Amino acid sequence: MIASNQVAAADYFQAYSVVGLLAVVGVLFVAFAFGAGRLLRPVVPTPEKLMTYECGVDPVGEGWAHTQVRYYVYAFLYVIFAVDSIFLFPWATVFAADGYGATTLVEMFIFLGFLTVGLLYAYKKGVLTWT
């Protein structure tokens, strides 16, 4: 009994040693690639190379740009509805299972209620108006 447990533990840790060895090889490969790149690249700093690059256009103005918060709010609303769609697909598969129909239906309406409250709050604050 003890010998079979030791064999099972050895197999268990051997599987993790393979994963650890693979992680070490991966880190060494990345370190070697970065080191080779540093040694092989030419280093000729010129004023043009040290200038900020903006999609092929010479930079104009200061480095700080003001961005309106509403763009982030739209991104946040997108994330909320993307998460909603991610939860809808598994819900649809569980909904069809025997014995889970009413429970999953109530849970989904609670979830959609939270999303609706968030959307109504954003609408009331005027976030959804593009001016």
pLDDT digits (tens, 9 = 90+) for 16-32: 888 899 999 999 999 99
pLDDT digits (tens, 9 = 90+) for 66-122: 767 767 777 877 887 787 778 777 777 777 777 777 777 888 888 888 888 888 888
Measured distance between the N- and C-terminal CA atoms of the chain, rounded to whole angstroms: 75
| Distance from chain centroid for Cα 65 | 25
pTM to 2 decimal places: 0.40
Average pLDDT over residues 56-65: 68
Alpha helices in the chain (DSSP H): 2-40, 47-50, 69-95, 101-124
| Distance from chain centroid for Cα 54 | 26
